[in-house]
Structure 1
Amino acid sequence: MDKRDLLVRTAFKLFYTQGIHAVGINLVLQESGVAKKTLYHHFPSKDHLVEATVRFRDEAYHHWLTGRLGAVAAGRPALLELFSALDDWFHGRAGEIDVFRGCFFINASAEFGDRDNAIHEACAEHKAKIVALIQSHVALLALPAGQARELTDLVTLLKEGAISMAHVQGNLDAALQAKAVFEHVTAGFHKTQSPS
């Protein structure tokens, strides 16, 4: 692992567990064992390091989630798997990503609330990428355009709500509750397999 990668991984763990503004550069240096000069060679400011951690988490989370959805048939089965994946994450059964401490992107965007801020924009890009992933599976259900948009919105809101309830209220079964709502709404839909 090179020094830049070590700094990003170390900073991410600290930011995710303690909060971004609560963690100073000196703690990142202490935990990583990297010299201050090296850190500033890679990251001119703390904000640049924070943005790198957001992009690092985006890549790791997206890789994990697409892997989970790709392990089942595309369409409705993959959308159901989305909630199963969240349930595993909430309950500490998703070893590929860190122990659940809420959504890093929500947390980071709350600390950098200006929508024009590069960190906030990177968080918004992540959320848009996940919506696009959901949309790609909804599209396979061959619904009318308006209904497809509504279902994409529903799945997105169920996902975000489950994460929020699990983190803020400690309701670790929120993903399964969201899954039950999704199953009820889509009970009459035909299961669609991915195109050959």
Structure 2
Amino acid sequence: MSKKRQILVDTALELFYRNGINTIGINEILKSAGVAKRTLYTDFDSKETLILAALHQRHERFIDWLESKLSNSDSDASVIENLFKSLASWFDNQEPALGDFRGCFFINTSAEFSDTSCEISRFCNQHKLQVRQVIQRHLHSKDPILLESICVLKEGAITTAYMSGDNHTVIAHCLEILKVLQERLNQQVQSK
């Protein structure tokens, strides 16, 4: 990737994540990036192409970050603990790889591009599916209820933390709910 293309993607991602996509125009991106319009259209044939490049970059960063946070998990309990403690750290702006917390870029983008058949919306959905696959890969249990609960609570925690600013309470609630669920699932297994 050329240096100017990377500057455009970095700038677009930062501006889109901070302000929303539809509020940011191409001219603002060019001005912030210090790049000429001609350079933009050499690498991107439309704003949509630039949006997709920004989404792709954020996706790669998030997946790499998530893999690194879950890589040393040796049990389902440690997957849950590592995931939600890492989310709490992100909510507190303590995760440099993800930058300052502004909610989920993919949820935010999906809200702006509600046509589920558009490429941007489909990419956001693919991101969520890949996040789910990363979590699933690290879990020892194959119980779909556990995976689904973790994923739903993760999404709820991100949205609630962003909207309420009550980062620590939401994480504590998620951890407690998952602890109770794991205990019940273990009791079901033992009673069989």
TM-score by length of structure 1 reads 0.88
Give the whole-Å Cα distance in 2 for the aligned partners of 1:183 and 1:5.
43
Which amino acid is the alignment partner of residue 182 of structure 2? T
Which amino acid is the alignment partner of residue 133 of structure 1? V
Instruction: Provide the secondary structure at the position in 2 that maps to 1:97.
Output: coil
Instruction: Provide the secondary structure at the position in 2 that maps to 1:186.
Output: helix
Give the fraction of aligned pairs with identical amino acids, expressed as a percent.
Answer: 36
Is 1:172 paired with 2:173?
no
For the aligned residues, what is the CA RMSD?
A: 1.6
Partner of 1:53: 54
Deviations 1:42-69 (A, max 9, x none): 1111011011111110000110111011
Deviation at 1:37, TM superposition (A): 0.4
Which amino acid is the alignment partner of residue 50 of structure 1? I
Give the whole-Å Cα distance in 2 for the aligned partners of 1:169 and 1:133.
27
Partner of 1:194: none
Deviation at 1:26, TM superposition (A): 0.5
CA contact (8 A) 1:80 1:183 kept: no
Deviations 1:68-112 (A, max 9, x none): 111332543122211011000001111221110000000111111
Which amino acid is the alignment partner of residue 20 of structure 1? I
Deviation at 1:23, TM superposition (A): 0.4
Gapped regions of structure 1 (runs ≥ 5): 190-196
Deviation at 1:177, TM superposition (A): 2.0
Partner of 2:147: 152
Partner of 1:183: 179
Deviation at 1:156, TM superposition (A): 0.5
Partner of 1:126: 127
Q: Give the count of matched residue pairs.
A: 184
When you count helix as a share of all residues, which structure comes out higher?
2
Give the whole-Å Cα distance in 2 for the aligned partners of 1:73 and 1:41.
47
Give the whole-Å Cα distance in 2 for the aligned partners of 1:92 and 1:176.
18
Q: Which has the higher contact order (CA 8 A, sep 6+)?
A: 1
Which amino acid is the alignment partner of residue 28 of structure 2? L
Deviation at 1:3, TM superposition (A): 1.0
1:1-196 correspondence runs (5 A)? 2-73=3-74, 75-138=76-139, 140-141=140-141, 143=142, 148-173=143-168, 174-187=170-183, 189=186
Give the whole-Å Cα distance in 2 for the aligned partners of 1:101 and 1:74.
30
Moved over 4 A (4+): none
